[in-house]
Amino acid sequence: FVVSWRAVLNYFVLEQWQLCYKLLSSTNYTTCGAILAYDRVRKPGWNTYYAGNMWWAKCSHVNRLTRIDKFDQKDRYMTEIYVTSEPDSGHFNCHYVNLHLPISFNKQNASCAINYPLWWAR
């Protein structure tokens, strides 16, 4: 699971960086990454994050974010929530996964689609 998880993140965020670059430079999306998750337990505005914390973002978006040192440093998930913490921002999900990710990730079958759902973490 961890091998495949890393492969998904590496492929969509690092190897296919052009996808996010093109999307961020030509649309209103402010962030782009893989495995955008939704946590039903956290309060609204603090419940969407890129699981694995790998993403691209517009500089203008990052400049609007609360300083990261103002986040709860004892909650490791707050670093994942950081980039999606700005209200009314558009976050693009390059790849959807579920908890039953295969051991190996097949790049030939990988695709980046605009309508991927959020991964429900809890």
Coil vs helix vs strand at 97 = coil
122 residues of the chain, pLDDT tens digit each: 456 778 888 888 999 899 899 999 999 999 999 888 877 666 666 678 888 899 999 999 999 998 888 887 788 778 888 899 887 788 888 876 655 555 556 666 666 655 454 444 54
The single residue listed with the structure tokens 């914390």 is 53
Pairing between strand 48-50 and 36-38? antiparallel
- Distance CA(46)–CA(87), nearest Å, equals 9
- C-alpha 11/C-alpha 8 separation (Å) is 5
pTM: 0.78
Number of helices (H), then strands (E), in the chain: 4, 6
Strand partners, 91: 31
Please tell me the distance from the alpha carbon of residue 95 to that of residue 109, in angstroms, as a whole number.
12
Q: How far apart are CA 28 and CA 18, in angstroms?
A: 16
CB 25 within 8 A of CB 1: no
What SS3 class is residue 11?
Answer: helix
